[in-house]
Amino acid sequence: MTDKIIPVTIERLNDDIYAGFWPRFASLFIDGIIIKAAFWLVSLLNNYLYVPLLLEVVFTVFYYVYLVQHYGGTPGKRIMNIRIIKLNGEDVSWKEALMRESVNLLVLIIFNAAMIYIISQANKGVFDYYELVAILEGVSDHWLAYTMIILQTLTVLWVLSELVTLLLNKRKQALHDFLAGTVVVKDIYIDDIREEMSDKQQQSTVSE
């Protein structure tokens, strides 16, 4: 469409085109319910701890990458009538969808790999029950416990940074939006945004 960036406001619209904190929070809440329900069902169907951990990674890619690329958002976002698009107004590609989730996905893969390793060691008798609990709760002096603490701390810092960033810029982009070059907009203004971007592209072509 164009290499220009969506403006902060569109003059003919008497409303903010970008999705703010509360719609995005509500979408996260809805997604959380769906994901928890899915994982609960998986845990009922399988007695092996490895399988839910592996499926969690697969499901995360499906939910936060595939659905975003195909439908412009997760079920939570679509229910809240908000959509993820590129900064130039186009639909997100696989690149943007993957980049948005890259940090969360990396942390999840490392965390679940560590969990699988801990469980495998426990199954071999390397840890007894109390040592296993201590490691998982981060109260052991084992290096695995420190790894879990570091991952959890990094996750909290990332989430807080996302929140602060979202609240402090006019396009309401979180860190993952900056990373991927995306914005989250209100669905009802998609046509207006693309019309505005098309007009800008035509003006740019004429001026050249």
Within 7-93, residue ranges assigned H as helices are 21-45, 50-61, 67-71, 75-79
Helix/strand/coil for 19: coil
- pTM confidence score: 0.84
Placement of tokens 């164009």 in the chain: 2
- d(CA 162, CA 42) in angstroms, rounded, equals 30
Of 36-40, 115-119, 121-125, 199-203, least confident by mean pLDDT is 121-125
Kindly tell me if the per-residue pLDDT of 179 is higher than 70.
yes
pLDDT recorded at residue 46: 59
Kindly tell me if the per-residue pLDDT of 72 is higher than 70.
yes
What DSSP character marks residue 13? -
CB 89 within 8 A of CB 4: no
pLDDT tens for 21-33 read: 999 999 999 999 9
The neighbouring-strand residues paired with 182 are 86
